[in-house]
Amino acid sequence: MIATHLPVLLILAPLLGAILAALSRNGVAAWLIGLVASALTAAVAFALLWRVQAEGVISYRIGGWAPELGIEYRVDAVNAFIVVLVGIVAVLTMIFARRSVLAEIIPERVASFYTMMLLCIAGLLGIAVTGDAFNAFVFLEISSLSTYTLIALGRDRRALVAAYQYLIVGTIGATFYVIGVGLIYLVTGTLNLGLIVERLASLQSSRGLIVAEAFIVIGIGLKLALFPLHAWLPNAYAYAPSSAAVLLASTATKVAIYLLARFLFTVFGGHIDVGSIAFGSLLIGLSLAAMFLASAAAVVQNDIKRLLAFSSVGQIGYITLGLALANPTGITGGLLHLFNHALMKGAAFMAMGAIVLRTGTAKLDELAGIGRVMPWTAAALTIAGLGLIGVPGTSGFVSKYYLILGALEAGHGWLAILIVASSFIAVLYVGRIVEVVWFREPAAAAREASEAPLEMLLPMWGLAGVTIWFGVHAEWPAGLASAAADTLLRMVP
Amino acid sequence: MRLDVVLRVATKFMLAPLLLFALYVQFHGDYGPGGGFQAGVIAAAAIILYGLINGLGPVQRIVPVGLLEVLIPGGVLIYVAVGLASMLLGDNFLDYNHLAHDRIHGQEWGVFLVEVGVFLTVFSTMIAIYYAFAGRRRS
């Protein structure tokens, strides 16, 4: 019985967990509930992946209503891939969160913090599994509203400003998305992604669809921090509580990228008239701008969390570049980079969370020599940094290799050169961290610190470990990404 | 506020009809415009009106903060529980067909229970927002 309900159980586990955590009103109980709920979520996510690999697309009708009337959850190779990523990150973040939350959140808000974490996870997974454009909007709002709260719970007062900034920008993004969905509903009469694609073939005029594409791309672009729309991201990541930053950096933007890919390739790619207005070339330009400008901005940051946040904007550029190439290798590279980047950025933000716990600061100049007292944490940060550069032997190398192959396949040799060139900017910002952390004499903050507790090191090294493991044995994630890319390009939702 | 006899008496007259109207909107949701969301807002408006006239202390004796913190997730819990019940009865999530002896009554019961959950969450969230603003001291 459970097997048929997997797609909805994926949402119910964190949702029910959130309700129980809120009702418990007790920090310890809420953490335990969060841990169990996220572990269940991860288990369901893997079960879904196996079922999709064995049997193909899974469709689930909420309330038993047909897709024409009701909401359909539809899991294929693309969202099974995303769901597994969110599941892995969710459970590791929960393990990591306990100590960091005890130090950063005032006690009576701890239960609400876990409630919001679980709601955010439920919302993100909901966006990933639903096959209904409007239902995706509802889940987008669930995840966004809980994200605003999570950011605002940061101990720095600037967290409130960051949360407010993201609230305004995020609301504009969600509004644009829903306007776009409304226009699609106007021209096709349905909200189900599969039915939209079917009905596009008999469309008289593509004008409504073009306007819808503009609204939806800008709306989701705000959510995924596509280059000129990224202004909310650095402050949000820098001032959010450490464990919230881990969750957001590794999942929130990634799920938004998934949604963009779904719309670009299934809804908008499926119609010939719209295909000619080539959003792809614009996306290539924006991705390149992100890769160079945002990475360059990362080089001059003094706060390591902000540095990593700007690096995220740059790395998102690689992912969208892969999507813009629109050939199987390029999309595989983009999706693989999405997966790898989530894991290594998760490791980096966990390392920063541990450093903030032990020293109380994330400023680069105050953290000189921290590697000598927190070697394991600093090593995980370094491995994640090497992954961000794309050094051979880390997973970042594999995904960039696919991207370069994809660029060459598309006949854009210059793009391949630019991908390599932009990686050198990553060498600069990672190099700054490595130099300060390892090679300088320990500063005051470092002398008083000690190694992070084991319960933080374990999830951190889990992520740092897979960054290396998937750099050497990339078959599993690359296979998943390439299956997802094929599904996207076949233009069947 | 002790001297505002007109306001206090007028409020006293309005509270009961407001709550009754909320219940009407709640139960009429099956047949026409209305439902848990609108009813929750109307019922919360009654409580907030009482708070505006009598102050934060008296209104929190009627609807304490602790009660709100249970009701907000409690409403969502009712919604999820209805969905889980339909799963245990062998249907999909939120499929109400087997909640009663036949399909029509099952659907009616299902929507009714979900709307009760919506009512509780909206009602208590509205009041919680009011408390949050009203409870701020000028600094």
Chain A residues with CB under 8 Å of B96 CB are 63
Other CB atoms within 10 A of residue A129 CB: 26
DSSP state of B96: -
Phi and psi based region of residue A260 (left: phi greater than 0; alpha: psi -120 to 50; beta: remaining): alpha
Q: What is the pLDDT of residues A384-407, one digit of tens each?
A: 999 999 999 999 999 999 999 999
Average pLDDT over chain A, rounded to whole?
Answer: 90
Q: How far is A129 from chain B (nearest CA, A)?
A: 15
Determine the Cα–Cα distance for residues A271 and A50; give it in Å rounded to an integer: 32
Q: How far is B112 from chain A (nearest CA, A)?
A: 15
| Beta-bridge partners for A130 | A73
Mutation target to probe the A interface, by most A beta carbons within 10 A, among B79, B94, B98, B118 is: B94
Determine the Cα–Cα distance for residues A446 and A286; give it in Å rounded to an integer: 39
Domain ranges of chain B: 5-134
Higher-confidence residue: A46 or B1? A46
Which sign, positive or negative, has the C-alpha torsion B57, B60, B62, B66? negative
| Beta-bridge partners for A75 | A58
What contacts A156, CB < 8 A, 6 or more positions away? A239
Look at residues A122, A105, A95, A97 and name the one whose alpha carbon lies nearest to residue A41: A122
Spacing of C-alpha A176 from chain mean position? 20
- Identify residue A15 by its one-letter amino acid code: L
Q: How many CB pairs under 8 A join A and B?
A: 45
Determine the Cα–Cα distance for residues A250 and A257; give it in Å rounded to an integer: 12
What confidence tier does A114 reach under pLDDT thresholds 50, 70, 90? very high
User: What is the ipTM, given to two decimal places?
Assistant: 0.90
CB contact under 8 A, A60 and B77: no
Return the axis-axis angle of helices A27-55 and A77-104, rounded to nearest 10°: 170
Chain B residues with CB under 8 Å of A1 CB are 90
Tokens 């090593």, residue located: A379
pTM of the model: 0.93
- Which residues of B touch chain A, with CB atoms under 8 Å apart? 69-70, 72-74, 76-77, 80, 83-84, 87, 90-97
Q: How far apart are the first and last CA of chain A?
A: 26
Tokens of A151: 């950011």
What confidence tier does A493 reach under pLDDT thresholds 50, 70, 90? very low
- Given a cut of 60, whether residue A273 has pLDDT beyond it is no
Q: What is the pLDDT of residues A116-131, one digit of tens each?
A: 999 999 999 999 999 9
- Given a cut of 60, whether residue A333 has pLDDT beyond it is yes
